[in-house]
Structure 1
Amino acid sequence: MIENLQSFTESLPPLLQWVGVMLAGAIPFVESYGGSVLGILAGVNPVVAIAAAIVGNVISMLIFVLTTSRVRTAAVARRDKPDSPRRAKLRERFDRFGVPGVSLLGQTVLPSQITAAAMVSFGASRNAVIGWQIVSIILWGVVFGVLGMVGSDLAGYGV
C-alpha cells in the first residue's frame, strides 16, 4: 500500500504532489508520520511534505471527532443504562492517562482518528481532544519527517 501511495504521489505534477501527501496523511495508520516520510521519499520538499501530511491527518481527525461528538450527544440523550464492565474498564484507563496522555501516546497503538473518537465517546471535551490531537499529529509528523530526511540521506536518496 505504501508503495502505491508513493507511486501515486510521484505521478502527480510537481505542483500537486502535496495533495497526494495530504491524502496519504488522512488515511488511518498512515497519518502524519507515514505521510511525511512518504512525501519525502517521493521527492516532495520536506517542509511541504510534513505540512501536507499534518494537514491531511488533522482534517481526517476532525471529521472523526465531530461525527463521534454528534453521535454521542444523540446516544447519551436516549441512554439510561449504566456502563458495561468492559466499557467501565476502558473509561478507567482513559481517566488515568487523560486526554494529553492518550493523544500523545495513543498513536503508537491506534490511529489518531480512532483514539480521538474513543476519547470523545468517553465524554472527553471535544475541544480538548481536538487541541491535543493537533499537538500530537504535528509532533509525530515532524519527528518522522526529520527521521525520513535523515534516513533518505543515509540511504543515498538525498532530499
Structure 2
Amino acid sequence: MIDALRDFTSSLPDVLQWVGVILAAAIPFVESYFGAVIGVLAGIPPVIAIAAAIVGNVLSMLIFVFSAHGVRSKVRNGKPAKPETPRRAKLRERFDRYGVAGVSLLGQTLLPSQITSAAMVSFGASRNAVIFWQVISIVLWGVAFGVLATLGITFLR
C-alpha cells in the first residue's frame, strides 16, 4: 500500500505532489508518519513532505473528533450508556490509566489517531484537550519518521 501511495504521489505534477501526501496522510493507519515517508521517498523536499503529512493527518483527525463529538452529544441526551465491547473496554482502560496526553502520544503505536481521538471524545474527554494532544502527537510522529526517512535515503546514497 505504501508503494502504491508513493507511486500515486510521484505520478502527480511536481507542483501538486504535496497534495498527494496530504491525501495519503489523511488515511487511517498511514497517518503523518507514513505520509512523511511517502513524501520523502517520492522526492519531495523533506520539510514540505513532513508538513503536508501533518496537515493531512490533522485534517482527517479533526473530522473524526468533531463527528464523534456531535454524535455523542445527540446520543447522550438523557439516555443511559450501552454496555461496552471488549475492545472498547480495553481502550477505555488505557484511556483511564494514561489520560488524554498518554493515549494521544502513545496510542498511534496501536491504532490510528482518528480512531483513538474519536474514542476519547466518545468516552467524554474534552474535545479541545483531545485535539491539542493529538496535534502534538501527529507533529512529533510525522517529524520523527520524516527525519528518519531523510537520513535513510541520505545514508543509502
Please report the RMSD computed on the Cα atoms of aligned residues, expressed in angstroms: 1.6
Q: Distance in 1 between matches of 2:126 and 2:67?
A: 14
Count of matched residue positions in the alignment of Structure 1 and Structure 2: 156
Is 1:113 the counterpart of 2:110 in the alignment?
no
1:80 to partner: Cα distance: 2.1
Provide structure 1 residue ranges, at least 5 long, that are not aligned to the other structure.
Answer: none
Which residue does 1:80 correspond to in 2?
80
Q: Contact 2:94/2:103 (CA < 8 Å) preserved in 1? A: no
Provide structure 2 residue ranges, at least 5 long, that are not aligned to the other structure.
Answer: none
Alignment of 1:139-150 (within 5 A): 139-150=140-151
- Secondary structure of the structure 1 residue equivalent to 2:77: helix
1:90 to partner: Cα distance: 4.3
Q: Distance in 1 between matches of 2:91 and 2:60?
A: 24
Is 1:59 the counterpart of 2:59 in the alignment?
yes
TM-score by length of 2: 0.93
Summarize the Cα distance change of 1:71–1:151 in structure 2 as closer, same or farther, 3 Å threshold.
same
Which residue does 1:22 correspond to in 2?
22
Aligned-residue sequence identity (percent) comes to 66
1:95 to partner: Cα distance: 1.5
1:94 to partner: Cα distance: 1.2
Summarize the Cα distance change of 1:153–1:134 in structure 2 as closer, same or farther, 3 Å threshold.
same
Q: Contact 2:32/2:139 (CA < 8 Å) preserved in 1? A: yes
TM-score by length of 1: 0.92
1:75 to partner: Cα distance: 1.1
